[in-house]
Structure 1
Amino acid sequence: MHGVNNRGRCVGIQKFPFLLAHAFIFELAMAGAVHAKQVSADATGIQADTVPVVDIKGGQTDVQARREFIAGKIVIGRASIEASGANNVQELLRKEPAVTISANGRLGLMGLPGYTQVLIDGVAAPAGKEPLELDVTHVESIEIVKSSLAEFGPYGSAGTINIISRKAKRLKTVTQLRLGALAGGSEHGSNFSWSTNRAEAGSPWIFAAQVSAGSQTRSDDSSVSVRRWFDDAPAVVQQVGSTTGWTRTDRLSLGGTVSWEAGRRHVLEFDPGLLWFKVSNRGVESDTWSAPQSRPHMVFSDGGSPLTTLSLPLKWTFRPDRQSKLILRLLSSHYHLTRDNNRLEAYIDAPDQLRQSPRSSHNRGNTIKLDYTRTIGAHDIKTGASVVQSRSSNEFAYLLDGVADASLQVLGNRRDVRDCRFSAFAQDEWRVNKVLGVNLGLSGERRTTDIDEGIYGGSSKFTSWAPSGHVSWKLPGVTERHLRLGLARTLTAPFLDQLTGRPTINPLAPCAPGACGQNSIAYADTAGQPKLRPEKTAGLNLAYEHYIGDDSIITLEAFSRHIDGLIGTDIQLENVPWSALPRYVARPANLGTARSHGLSLEAQLQLRELWKASPDMNLHGSVTLAHSSVSTVPGPDNRLADQSRWSAKFGGSHAVAGLPLKLNVDANWTPSGWVRSTATRKLYTSRRSELSSQAIWTFASGWRAKFTFDHTLSGDATRIESFFAEDADFERRSVRPSRDRFRFDLEAKL
């Protein structure tokens, strides 16, 4: 691949789709020949060779499944998903011991949410689709690996969370329904989900469908204060403000599967999906300034962002024999977003101004993915290759009192992006004997991103190779114990927003009509960096797993990461095209090297496996300790963003004897602390403590009612940002109150 031409096609790999098409035709020809052989054999009374039916044993627990993976893959199966009481993927993962929660609520592995890869069916989610917001109605299982596997590509330095979508199954017809309502001190809403699976005995056709919808309104208020220091002089309060408002989120998700089995060798699946999502908001900001000139003292804002995503995946599975499988996936996705932002600003020394910034985005993507697996003796071999091509167009407008804002005309009104990726992998999972297993793999990707946005633009190109190796050793003894070692080299690629040069003007340091003035470091604009390079990470994981029965496990794991070309945010005073005077701009930058290491203890215990006379109770929890440092940032507190010094979670479930009642409790803690991300910025977040309790009552008819109460133990959330400039230092302190909420859900299998 040598680039992307003007039409957005990947030069040098255009022939790949045609090769796949030829392979598809060739395999169909083979299938036809085999079918003819079977018909001929039946006519002559001779039995042709057939593929034996593989008997998959049911009833395997998630812990039992975990033992089979050399790389220590954690599996959350459908039975565990239904028993969890969670409504979406994020709620489910918050209960999982291996998943950590950062001080700002982000989920990740090893305390590194920014380095955790989240996939859907082994590939990145289509544009506009947030995997963690998926309703569990659309989820069959979730896989978690706290290292890198070649089959998941060269990304995910902290690991991968792979969400497996629900597909049609050859089982009896079943329909599930859920109705829910949410209420609390600051939010209310409702949700609905429905799924069905229909299969007729003897029919080659299977049908499945899932529908989920919901609406949620959240009111929010916060306060902010900004202080400024000049050398050794006392601090001056520059701004005191408050914000009140509400946000409404409406969503509708449709998914389905049509599956056709052509004999025992071929399965063709079509899994269309539609997501509609709209966020509406309205707010009022009130500010008091020490120097009110050219600064709004009151702002009335409103906006809306409707989003539509359509995905059309087609999957063909061919089984030449019981030892091998070929899967061809074709995916076409379309994404459309419109965004309206309106700000009416009231000034003391000037007339009111109405600022509007409508935006429209459209994305089209196509993916071709071919995977082949084969078992040769003790080796399970996987290989694959894929091509991803996408093109997006964005249109912008900057209006001041209904006419184009002359100060921002230099930015232009359009951005076109063409992205092309070619990736391949090979992986061998070798079970040397009953106690030793080895997983070796290599994945690579070549990627070109061309950005055209008027005065900005450029091209980002890189090629990456990511080797990985895992060793699993079953220790001798009556109790099953495993030692696992993982080594991997991975990549973290910049996001598109980190590569685009188009700025976002700080609304509290707006441009005056016809010209942009100077801002301060506390009110910096934000923009991307077209020359940003990917991060490269070397990682090591060493884990000891102690299994107790079929449902209990204790894991002690040490981990280490070395990151080259760390991507962070740097704030500098720059000469910029949109202002005649220098302005402070926050941009992503490669800051140098970083190191992170830590230790985690995780437990998942079924008490009756420890003590037979105990109540029917499950306990789970984890504690993670982590330390990190960034070479180019002065200490102390020069840690990786979002990685806390420690985090903990604890939970349990109890089936009440004699009653159709199950109780669930989950809690998590993250400490307060400072993180110095660059020489010019330091951030403090207050401690985070949450408690969620749930009661599930199952009726004789099969319906069940869920009562969930979420409570914040840590009180209001405080955030402090300190900025350091040559002329002055600033401190911005914001406080956001926390509120409890209650949710009721009614579920049934029909």
Structure 2
Amino acid sequence: MMPLPKTRFHLTVLSVAILAAMNSAAFAQQAASVESVQPDPSAKASNTQQKIQRVEVQGTRNYDERRQDTATKIVVTQEDIIRYGDTTVGDVLKRLPGVTIGGVQGRGGEIRMRGLGAGYTQILLNGEPSPPGFSLDSISPDLIERIEVMRAATADTSTQAIAGGINIVLKKTVQTAQKEIKIGGQMDGGRFGTNMNGQIADKLGRMSYSLSGNLTHGQYERPSAMDEIGTDASGKTNLLRHTDIVGWGTFNAIGFAPRVNWSLENGDTVTTQSFINANRFSGYNKESSITSLGVLPVYVSDFQRIQSDFTMLRTNLNWIHKLADSAKLDVKLGVNYNKRNSDVNFLGYDIGNTQTLDRKVSSGASDKGLTFSGKYSAPFVENHAFVFGWDGAYSKRNENRLQNDTVTSLASGLKPLNLDETFDADVTRLALFAQDEWNITKQWSLYAGLRWEGLDTRSEGNTYSEVRNKSSVWSPILQTLWKLPDSKNDQVRLGLTRTYKAPDTSKLIPRRYISNNNSATNPDTMGNPNLKPELAWGLDAAFEHYLSDGGMLSASVYMRRINDITRTQLSNVNGTWISMPVNDGQATTRGIELEAKFPLRSVMQNAPSIDFRANLSFNWSNLETVPGPNNRIDSQTPISANLGMDYKLDKLPLTVGGNVSFQDGGPVRISVAQSSYSVPKRVLDVYALWKFTQKTNLRVSLGNALHQDNLSASTYSDASGSLQQTTTTPTTTTLRILFEHKL
């Protein structure tokens, strides 16, 4: 047998490793083909024209950031972003290497890198931290130019990125006049929804403009079931309870995103970009429990109605001023505002279906913010790229809550809890940074940065005295890229970073959120004004192999050593269970990440025109102050994987494909007495794209085609006994049909 060429050997080994690991995790693989970047051989006459069009759209994007930048990052292009016809950014992110989404599959949730969320992952918008109350789902994927997944922090972006950062880069320039409309419908669990996106863009002399808008209407119905089992000190069962839960409702949203660019005569550019979004949510939730053993809950059944309105405005002005000797000054000024109002009506009933409580809650919150940042870059020394800058932000949050209880049954023994609470919080952030990228030789480059960032949080309310929390962090960063001299396609990366996680403002405020049915697995929650930032030293290393046909293979490892880790502390105060975040010791997290993407013809000659992509991540962590086993940080995802293919048919204007993902779960030890469990999740997304003409497409996709039930559990156990709560949530497959037309 002849030996495999070097490139094929790399591809074969990594592919087998990824597939074997996914099989060992009981991963049922199933993938259809997807859109290929290979040209259609039946259209040879148009090959040259297609290539010219590709260069025209990308402009200066011929520079490969992932391959050539010293700072490590993964770059996702606009073509990849729109491939599945996703309506939210979260649906796009879930397929990226090392990125997972918390919560129930198919419904969105917390964005996590390396299995870590809850503030460990930094979300950026055009390189700036997203403002309070901002949701990525308010941005249409059509507005995004690219997504950057940054595994190691850089000085010019916030170093609040222990796990890493995700930067959403929006389109800023208009190449040619565009008029585009997309109309779609979706079916989710028998509930119909619609969405429409439109974009108009053009150039007028030195000015270019773009206006994008979207309308969304959706409905949902989501049943679930909860089972509780309790035991006493001897292990004898003393509680058996089953609760059926169903939620249903509608949501509507409208958004506009105008942007204007001016190219001034002196070479300067000025850009303004805004988002205006408004949405309304009307939902209902019904719970009914049967207790076959043990004490009845406070409310045997309940009904809840929720009406919520949310509006958001974000606008920024960016001025780039060119100076002598290729230096430039880049200044940004931004303003953001969002407001939320909600009304909740909770009705509680006893075992005889007699109403015992009528609770009405009206609440509102508003966030106002100002950002001001800038950086000066200049090549003071040959082969160096020096950057100095600042990053400042101020935000103010006002919140109010009015609760009126009416006890409708005197026999219940309930006492009304009437509240009239107001809260105010001010957060000031200031950062100064300097960095340099030095091309030492043609094969070796070095990035060095230093960032100081300070936070000042102040809060006061009518139920507590003023709380103030100040913190600051120095973050040195060093990254290097070495291109192996014996190969033009192999390179090694190494990075050393100092990052941190600042306490969320809500976790600093000693406000108490009350649970309707208080228990050890469903406690009240409150903030801790004494929280300190978590500080971490990090090490990243990677090997990358690039293929001549545009494919690549990479293997990377990472490690983080975190001090003053934050975990949840549960306590019983006068019979009421209360959870509160506290700083508690040190933790270590580490992992391995593998990625591959290449045309199948790189491995097999005469293979179909299929593009193959896969990634696999292993994560381990250890919280030293919590006994093992399974004492992972923040319920860290141990294993995640994606396998996808794109197949462009030669004789038909059809592209089909799919992506299957796996996200491991398992048991987690939260504290000496607390533990949780989440089921491993498997998600299959498939799509088909039919191109009627160069300007008209029809895209059909299935999301969460496996519709696997989601299962989660939480357990509390001490010397007096234990309580386990298990929730089972069925999921549904979403069918989307999207008609795309360029005018």
> In the aligned structure 1, how far is the partner of 2:137 from the partner of 2:324?
37
Deviation of 1:390 after TM superposition, in Å, equals 1.3
> In the aligned structure 1, how far is the partner of 2:163 from the partner of 2:282?
34
After superposition, residues 135-174 of structure 1 pair within 5 angstroms as 135-169=140-174, 171-174=175-178
Conserved? CA contact 1:63–1:553, under 8 Å: no
Match status 1:464 vs 2:468 = no
Equivalent residue number for residue 485 of structure 1: 494
| SS of residue matched to 1:80 | helix
After superposition, residues 264-283 of structure 1 pair within 5 angstroms as 264-283=266-285
Conserved? CA contact 1:638–1:676, under 8 Å: yes
Q: Flag the 1:630–1:79 CA change in 2: closer, same or farther, 3 A.
A: same
| SS of residue matched to 1:112 | coil
Conserved? CA contact 1:183–1:742, under 8 Å: yes
Cα deviation code 1:632-679 (max 9, x no counterpart)? 111111111232222211001011111111112100112341011112
Cα deviation code 1:389-414 (max 9, x no counterpart)? 111111111111299x98645x6510
Q: Flag the 1:532–1:638 CA change in 2: closer, same or farther, 3 A.
A: same
| SS of residue matched to 1:398 | strand
> In the aligned structure 2, how far is the partner of 1:479 from the partner of 1:343?
66
| SS of residue matched to 1:644 | coil
> In the aligned structure 2, how far is the partner of 1:259 from the partner of 1:237?
65
| SS of residue matched to 1:95 | coil
> Which of 449, 460, 469 is 1:441 aligned to?
449
Q: Which residue identity does 1:65 align to in structure 2?
A: E
Deviation of 1:234 after TM superposition, in Å, equals 1.9
| SS of residue matched to 2:542 | strand
Identity across matched positions, percent: 24
Match status 1:330 vs 2:333 = yes
Equivalent residue number for residue 698 of structure 1: 691
Equivalent residue number for residue 531 of structure 1: 530
Equivalent residue number for residue 310 of structure 1: 313
Conserved? CA contact 2:84–2:701, under 8 Å: no
| SS of residue matched to 2:64 | helix
| SS of residue matched to 1:66 | helix
Q: Which residue identity does 1:397 align to in structure 2?
A: L
Deviation of 1:265 after TM superposition, in Å, equals 2.3
Equivalent residue number for residue 113 of structure 1: 117
Deviation of 1:293 after TM superposition, in Å, equals 5.7
Q: Flag the 1:62–1:158 CA change in 2: closer, same or farther, 3 A.
A: farther
| SS of residue matched to 1:91 | helix
| SS of residue matched to 1:352 | strand
> In the aligned structure 2, how far is the partner of 1:424 from the partner of 1:487?
19
> Which of 621, 625, 646 is 1:628 aligned to?
621
Cα deviation code 1:395-453 (max 9, x no counterpart)? 111111299x98645x6510011111111111111111110010011112111111102
Q: Which one has more relative contact order, counting CA pairs under 8 Å at least 6 apart?
A: 2
Equivalent residue number for residue 26 of structure 1: none
Q: Which residue identity does 1:717 align to in structure 2?
A: N
Conserved? CA contact 1:154–1:444, under 8 Å: no
Deviation of 1:152 after TM superposition, in Å, equals 1.0
Deviation of 1:206 after TM superposition, in Å, equals 1.2
> In the aligned structure 1, how far is the partner of 2:304 from the partner of 2:161?
38
> Which of 254, 263, 281 is 1:261 aligned to?
263
Equivalent residue number for residue 355 of structure 1: 359
> In the aligned structure 1, how far is the partner of 2:582 from the partner of 2:692?
57
Match status 1:205 vs 2:204 = no
Q: Which residue identity does 2:498 align to in structure 1?
A: R
Conserved? CA contact 1:152–1:160, under 8 Å: no
**Which structure 2 residue ranges, 5 or more long, are not aligned?**
1-54, 409-413
Deviation of 1:134 after TM superposition, in Å, equals 2.3
After superposition, residues 519-668 of structure 1 pair within 5 angstroms as 520-574=519-573, 581-610=574-603, 613-668=606-661
> In the aligned structure 2, how far is the partner of 1:406 from the partner of 1:619?
62
Conserved? CA contact 2:89–2:137, under 8 Å: yes
**Which structure 1 residue ranges, 5 or more long, are not aligned?**
1-54, 510-519, 575-580
| SS of residue matched to 2:429 | strand
Deviation of 1:103 after TM superposition, in Å, equals 7.2
After superposition, residues 60-459 of structure 1 pair within 5 angstroms as 64-83=64-83, 85-101=85-101, 106-114=110-118, 115-132=120-137, 134-169=139-174, 171-185=175-189, 187-200=191-204, 203-289=205-291, 290=293, 295-321=298-324, 323-348=326-351, 351-376=355-380, 377-401=382-406, 408=417, 412-456=420-464, 457-459=466-468
Deviation of 1:299 after TM superposition, in Å, equals 0.7
Cα deviation code 1:550-595 (max 9, x no counterpart)? 5211010111111111112111123xxxxxx342101111121111
After superposition, residues 499-538 of structure 1 pair within 5 angstroms as 499-509=508-518, 520-538=519-537
Q: Flag the 1:412–1:352 CA change in 2: closer, same or farther, 3 A.
A: closer
> In the aligned structure 1, how far is the partner of 2:658 from the partner of 2:309?
36
Q: Flag the 1:68–1:704 CA change in 2: closer, same or farther, 3 A.
A: same
Of 658-667 and 246-255, the range deviating more from structure 2: 246-255
Q: Which residue identity does 2:68 align to in structure 1?
A: E
> In the aligned structure 1, how far is the partner of 2:551 from the partner of 2:63?
7
Conserved? CA contact 1:323–1:375, under 8 Å: yes
| SS of residue matched to 1:638 | coil
> In the aligned structure 2, how far is the partner of 1:614 from the partner of 1:264?
53
Conserved? CA contact 1:185–1:741, under 8 Å: yes
Q: Which residue identity does 2:363 align to in structure 1?
A: R
| SS of residue matched to 2:96 | coil
Q: Which residue identity does 2:637 align to in structure 1?
A: S
Cα deviation code 1:265-287 (max 9, x no counterpart)? 22222222211122221021101
Q: Which residue identity does 1:266 align to in structure 2?
A: D
Conserved? CA contact 2:705–2:734, under 8 Å: no
Of 359-368 and 96-105, the range deviating more from structure 2: 96-105
> In the aligned structure 2, how far is the partner of 1:104 from the partner of 1:602?
25
> In the aligned structure 2, how far is the partner of 1:293 from the partner of 1:700?
64
Q: Flag the 1:332–1:594 CA change in 2: closer, same or farther, 3 A.
A: same
Q: Flag the 1:153–1:470 CA change in 2: closer, same or farther, 3 A.
A: same
> In the aligned structure 1, how far is the partner of 2:530 from the partner of 2:251?
36
Q: Flag the 1:63–1:218 CA change in 2: closer, same or farther, 3 A.
A: farther
Q: Flag the 1:238–1:459 CA change in 2: closer, same or farther, 3 A.
A: farther
> In the aligned structure 1, how far is the partner of 2:389 from the partner of 2:383?
20
Of 442-451 and 316-325, the range deviating more from structure 2: 316-325
Deviation of 1:343 after TM superposition, in Å, equals 0.6
| SS of residue matched to 2:262 | strand
> In the aligned structure 1, how far is the partner of 2:271 from the partner of 2:690?
37
| SS of residue matched to 1:157 | coil
RMSD: 2.3
Deviation of 1:127 after TM superposition, in Å, equals 2.9
| SS of residue matched to 1:401 | strand
TM-score normalised by L of structure 2: 0.87
| SS of residue matched to 2:156 | helix
> In the aligned structure 2, how far is the partner of 1:613 from the partner of 1:85?
30
Deviation of 1:111 after TM superposition, in Å, equals 2.1
Match status 1:675 vs 2:668 = yes
Q: Flag the 1:63–1:79 CA change in 2: closer, same or farther, 3 A.
A: farther
Q: Which residue identity does 2:493 align to in structure 1?
A: R
TM-score normalised by L of structure 1: 0.86
Conserved? CA contact 1:100–1:111, under 8 Å: yes
Conserved? CA contact 1:712–1:738, under 8 Å: no
| SS of residue matched to 1:413 | strand
Conserved? CA contact 1:525–1:586, under 8 Å: yes
Q: Which residue identity does 2:735 align to in structure 1?
A: F
